[in-house]
Structures are given as C-alpha cells and as structure tokens.
Amino acid sequence: MNLDLAGKVAVVTGGSSGIGLATTRLLLAEGAAVAICGRDEARLKAAKASLGAPADRLLAVRCNVRKESEVRDFAQAVERWKDACDILVNNAGQGRMSTFANTDDDAWREELELKFFSQIYPVRAFKPLLDRSKAAAILAVNALLAYQPEPYMVCTSAARAGVQNLVKSLAAEFAPAIRVNAIMLGLIDSGQWQRRFAAREDQNQSREQWYGDLARSRHIPLERLGEPDEVARAIAFLVSPAASFITGAQLEISGGVSRYM
C-alpha cells in the first residue's frame, strides 16, 4: 500500500525519544519532511544524529509543549522552514503513577495541564498551516487508560478520558478539512518504561524477568510490551492519505489488553 507521504510536512512533538522518534524515522523513510520538538537539547541532538537526515528533511527545535509561547515559536520555525504543515502528531508527554490518596492539587493541575495543553497549544499554533494543506491530519497519542483506568494511574487516566472527548470534538469541528484521530496505547517499551526498569527495586532482576513480570501482571494477551515501531506504523497509516475516510476514530495498540467492548 502506498501511504502517499512523500513530500508531506509532518510535525511530531516529543520526537526525540521512544514512540515519537520511531514515528519520525518512519515518516522520513516514507519521504516526508519532519519537524520534531522536545525539552532537552542533548536528547534532540542525539535524535537528530541517529536519524541522519539532511537539514531540508529534518528540523529539531527545543520546545516545551506546556508553554504556549514556545509552541508558537516552534510553529513559526516550521513556517520559516517549509511554510507548510500537513501532519501534526501530538505525542509529547509522560504518564504519572499516582493514586487518588497521594495526588495533591498541584499534581492534578500539572497533569491536566500536560495532557490537555500538549494537544491544545500545538493544534492552535499549527492550525493556520494545516488549514492550507490538502491532506491535513492530526493524531493524538492517547492511552487505553482513557477507557480503562488503572488504580495506580488515577489522575493520568482521568486526564486521558478528557483528551479523548476533545479529539471527538476536534474531528467534528475541523471536518472536512482536517482529519483528527487518536491512538489508544497499552504498554509500549519506550523511554518511560526504560527509566522505570533502570529504577527497579531489585537491581538484580534481569531485563527479561522485569519486562516478563510486567506483561504478566498486566495480563497482556500477546504476553509482551509493544515496540515503538509497532506504534509508529499505526500512526503513519492514520495520518496518511491512505486513511482518507477515517476521522474521529481511535485505534487501540495494546497487545489486546482492553477488557471493555
């Protein structure tokens, strides 16, 4: 299948690690030009080096998606670079492990702000460029937690549910010009889980043991965590013209872990 991504301009927030990096690599391989952002300059530099794309195909900009002025500057940099944006992948972020009992008000505000404004600010900043595209698509990287909250991720789950609602509203409001879809992730072996593995309680536990226990404890039918590449392939399809009649949809990428119908 031809995804028809050659020549498109894509923006991937949080493109310096994990799912965002894998998505950037795949979009580049499909012929798109990609602009990525992240907060950490060194991580961006390393990502740029590992991707090895020329300056007319890859732009890396330091930007915290929680800061509207930085997101606006990022959009202006993309405008100067290509004067176009066909694809926006809102991927930047991370989950918060917490229960209701140990989540204070500041943590609630921080989490709601991260989950909502990591979508709202980029959509607002890139909308004028997306409006000029003939194949515009927005993709929200979201989590299964939106529908299936976990007891140890109380405030992230609640925020994820709100984001899913927002995606539906955007899909209706922006149609027919811009398609808006979401992916619902289960557990993916990216930076977040690698950091948790590095900080594991029992430092003698091997990678295989630790990840195996994790997959078993979460009852993942495919018996493992997903790989960033497996998510990237779904993202590339949903943002491509090959998915031209898909909007307001959610695609679950979880190894079958959902229990809801």
Cβ–Cβ under 8 Å, residues 48 and 123: no
Is there binding between residue 92 and ligand NDP (CB under 6 A)? yes
Calpha distance 172→193 (Å, rounded): 34
Is there binding between residue 69 and ligand NDP (CB under 6 A)? no
Per-residue contact flags (x/-) with ligand NDP for residues 49 to 68, judged by CB under 6 A: ---------------xxx--
Q: Is 89 helix (H, G, I), strand (E, B) or coil?
A: strand
Is there binding between residue 103 and ligand NDP (CB under 6 A)? no
Is there binding between residue 94 and ligand NDP (CB under 6 A)? yes
Is there binding between residue 14 and ligand NDP (CB under 6 A)? yes
Is there binding between residue 125 and ligand NDP (CB under 6 A)? no
**CB burial string 83-119: b at 16+ within 10 A, e below:** eebbbbbbbbbebbebeeeebeeeebeebbebbebbb
Q: Is 8 helix (H, G, I), strand (E, B) or coil?
A: coil
Is there binding between residue 20 and ligand NDP (CB under 6 A)? yes
Is there binding between residue 159 and ligand NDP (CB under 6 A)? no
Nearer to ligand NDP, 211 or 237 (CB): 211
Nearer to ligand NDP, 5 or 71 (CB): 71
Is there binding between residue 148 and ligand NDP (CB under 6 A)? no
Crossing angle of helices 105-131 and 154-174, rounded to 10°: 20
Amino acid letter, residue 222? L
Is there binding between residue 40 and ligand NDP (CB under 6 A)? yes
Tokens 């960033």 belong to 228
| Residues contributing to the site for ligand NDP (CB under 6 A) | 13-14, 16-20, 37-40, 43, 64-66, 91-95, 141, 143, 185, 187-188, 190-193
